[in-house]
């Protein structure tokens, strides 16, 4: 029986190591921008570029002017020349200045968005870690209960030992603590530092849960 308990405790140790590795990967995958840029709408002037249509209209204006000198319909040709010249100038002016709308956002809005994203990703990571631990421990609980029930102890002793391991240890970590930590941050660097601190807390909580659970099983003395 003692050998079976040792095997179960060994599997708990291995599981805790895997969960700590996963914690490192989950947290490393959380990307935090190095800075939050404030953007605003602006006009971008395009220098030295005249659209081809303007040249065409200028050409028509020139030909119309020449035609006005040699034609009897001087008024009509001059009208075409003026209209073409004005059209070429207008298009050239409009195309010369290009307004590029860019979303305007304040640093506070940007840092708030980053905080929400980080909290959401950490919540998801912690949920995955704790759920995997609990599913694993439910299996181990059934194994240890089976060991107790098949032992040579009397029923009273079996009931006593079963009660000692009736509840398994959980990974005791609070996501609300992390939310409070991040919400007091004022910069991306501050968020990164608190993310690292909280990751260490998660790793320590995994170690603590595994150690307490192994001690509990060792205390059975089967």
Domain total for the chain?
2
Domain termination site, one of 66, 100, 134: 100
Same domain, 149 and 212: yes
Whether residue 162 sits in one domain with residue 67: no
Are 134 and 184 part of one and the same domain? yes
Give every CB contact of residue 174 below 8 A, 6+ residues apart in sequence.
none
Determine the structural domain holding residue 87 and report its residue range: 42-100
Strand, helix or coil for residue 221: coil
pLDDT, tens digit only, all 222 positions of the chain: 788 999 999 999 999 999 999 999 999 999 998 754 433 334 444 444 545 555 444 455 444 444 444 455 444 444 544 455 445 455 555 555 444 444 444 555 589 999 999 999 999 999 999 999 999 999 999 999 999 998 888 999 999 999 989 999 999 999 999 999 999 999 999 999 999 999 999 999 999 999 999 999 999 876
Residue 62 DSSP SS3 = helix
Distance CA 48, CA 104 (A): 29
CA distance 205 to 199: 10
Which of 100, 123, 141 terminates a domain? The answer is 100
Last residue of a domain, one of 63, 80, 100: 100
pTM beyond 0.75: the answer is no
> Same structural domain for residues 85 and 160?
no
Q: Do 222 and 5 contact (CB within 8 A), yes or no?
A: yes
Q: Are 112 and 80 in a shared domain?
A: no
The reply to whether 174 and 76 lie within a common domain is: no
């Amino acid at each position: 029986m003692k050998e079976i308990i040792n095997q179960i405790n060994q599997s708990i140790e291995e599981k805790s190591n895997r969960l700590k590795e996963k914690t490192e990967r989950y947290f490393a995958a959380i990307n935090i921008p190095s800075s939050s840029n404030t953007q605003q709408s602006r006009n971008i002037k395009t220098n030295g570029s005249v659209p081809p249509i303007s040249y065409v209209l200028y050409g028509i204006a020139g030909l119309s002017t020449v035609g006005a000198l040699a034609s009897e319909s001087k008024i009509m040709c001059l009208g075409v020349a003026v209209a073409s010249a004005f059209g070429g100038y207008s298009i050239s002016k409009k195309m010369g200045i290009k307004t590029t709308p860019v979303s305007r956002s304040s640093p506070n809005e940007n840092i708030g968005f980053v905080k929400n994203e980080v909290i959401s990703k950490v919540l998801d990571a912690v949920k995955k870690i704790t759920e995997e631990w609990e599913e694993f421990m439910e299996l181990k609980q059934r194994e240890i209960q089976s060991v107790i029930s098949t032992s040579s102890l009397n029923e009273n002793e079996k009931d006593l030992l079963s009660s000692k391991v009736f509840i398994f240890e959980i990974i005791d970590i609070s996501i609300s603590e992390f939310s409070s930590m991040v919400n007091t941050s004022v910069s991306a660097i501050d968020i990164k530092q608190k993310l690292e601190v909280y990751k260490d807390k998660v790793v320590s909580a995994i170690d603590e849960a595994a150690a307490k659970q192994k001690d509990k099983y060792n205390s059975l003395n089967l």
